[in-house]
Amino acid sequence: MHQDPEGCETPVEPDAVADSDEVPTTTAATAPAGGEIVKRHRLSTRLWHWTNALTLFVMLLSGLMIFNAHPRLYWGQYGANYDHSWFEIGSRGNDGFARLGALQIKTTGVLGAWPDANGAIQHRAFPYWLTIPSTYSLAHARLWHLFFAWILGLGLIGYLIISMVNRHIQRDLLPTRKEIAPSHIWHDIKDHARLRFPTGAAAARYNILQKLSYGAVLFLFLPLIILTGLTMSPQMDSGWSFLVSIFGGRQSARSIHFIIAWLLVGFFLVHIAMVVLAGPINEVRSMITGRFRLPKDKGPRA
């Protein structure tokens, strides 16, 4: 053990893993205990995390403004005002509504029909405080959206390459055979439902629910949202026409794009909830500095 510059005891780590995302494999005798500070996240992980957070925030709000230009979603090759949409946000008079198939709910004041900053009723899908820009402008929304789309796409490619080279994906994100057993997954679900979070060295490793959710975001949600975004581009259609066939048409791609965006919002909300419940100061610090204080064992579980 040695004293780090902050005056906290940390386990001495080999140079080869000193900047590892997770606590290196250790024996029971050398495993760090609760209360100690360990290295948790690589610099590449921290930079990508915060860049991605800003990127997805801007893309979501600018995407909602783009949706305001035509607040309906379709399946298939085409989509226009008189085609049957599976989802719609609109208004009748001063009453706003959201319709999913045959189900329609009143959303006056929030969606479809809502008061602007001056109190005047506006008839657009999403309100000004949820969009970029806040005043209606399809052109400016597209500029914001497409600029950050480049950051998202190039950032994802760069992060995946780096994570393969430094073996972060293979070592930390791939579930083991034991972890994917239904009994193990169900045990983790029950622990999370009871707010029983790992302690000691186990707290610095990803559990199976984290591996599955992060894997879904990295290898399914983000690639899908990028590819469906490309499918909606007329310029890309001319060169990569196979994308239109894969997703069953530009309107189907638009629907998938919208669904994935809200799945990412759901992931974000659950992620924030887990950070708050697990200890926000320690969790956020680990994503800023890379250092993480291992939670102490609270005693035997009932």
What pLDDT score was predicted for residue 197? 83
Q: Is 227 in contact with 248 (CB distance < 8 Å)?
A: no
Tokens coding 12: 């001495």
What pLDDT score was predicted for residue 89? 96
Q: Say whether pLDDT at 102 is over 90.
A: yes
User: What is the rounded average pLDDT of the residues 23-38?
Assistant: 60
Mean pLDDT is highest, among 96-100, 169-173, 200-204, for 96-100
Write the CB contacts of 173 (distance below 8 Å, at least 6 apart in sequence): 163, 206, 211, 214, 215, 218
Long-range contacts of 140-143 (CB under 8 A, 24+ apart): 140/65, 141/62, 141/63, 141/65, 141/66, 142/62, 142/66
What phi, psi does 294 have (nearest 5°)? -65, 130
Point out which residues pair with 52 in neighbouring strands: none
37 against 17, higher pLDDT: 37
Q: Say whether pLDDT at 243 is over 60.
A: yes
| Exposure on the CB side of residue 174, measured as CA atoms within 13 A | 9
61 against 280, higher pLDDT: 61
What pLDDT score was predicted for residue 22? 41
In whole numbers, what is the pLDDT of the chain averaged over residues? 84
What pLDDT score was predicted for residue 136? 93
Residue range 40-90, pLDDT digits in tens: 888 888 999 999 999 999 999 999 999 999 999 999 876 665 678 999 999
Residue range 179-222, pLDDT digits in tens: 999 999 999 999 888 888 887 777 778 889 999 999 999 999 99
CA distances from 18 to 40, 42, 283 (A): 10, 9, 19
Residue range 108-119, pLDDT digits in tens: 999 999 999 889
Q: Is 36 in contact with 294 (CB distance < 8 Å)?
A: yes
What pLDDT score was predicted for residue 23? 39
What pLDDT score was predicted for residue 183? 93
What pLDDT score was predicted for residue 96? 96
Q: Is 248 in contact with 79 (CB distance < 8 Å)?
A: no
Q: Say whether pLDDT at 28 is over 90.
A: no
Point out which residues pair with 291 in neighbouring strands: 39
Global pTM reads 0.81
**Angstrom distance (rounded) from CA 278 to CA 154:** 31
Q: Say whether pLDDT at 230 is over 60.
A: yes
User: What is the rounded average pLDDT of the residues 115-142?
Assistant: 94
Q: Say whether pLDDT at 287 is over 60.
A: yes
Where residue 20 falls among pLDDT bands split at 50, 70, 90?
very low
**Single-letter code of the amino acid located at 262:** W
What pLDDT score was predicted for residue 27? 46
**Angstrom distance (rounded) from CA 254 to CA 261:** 11
What pLDDT score was predicted for residue 294? 83
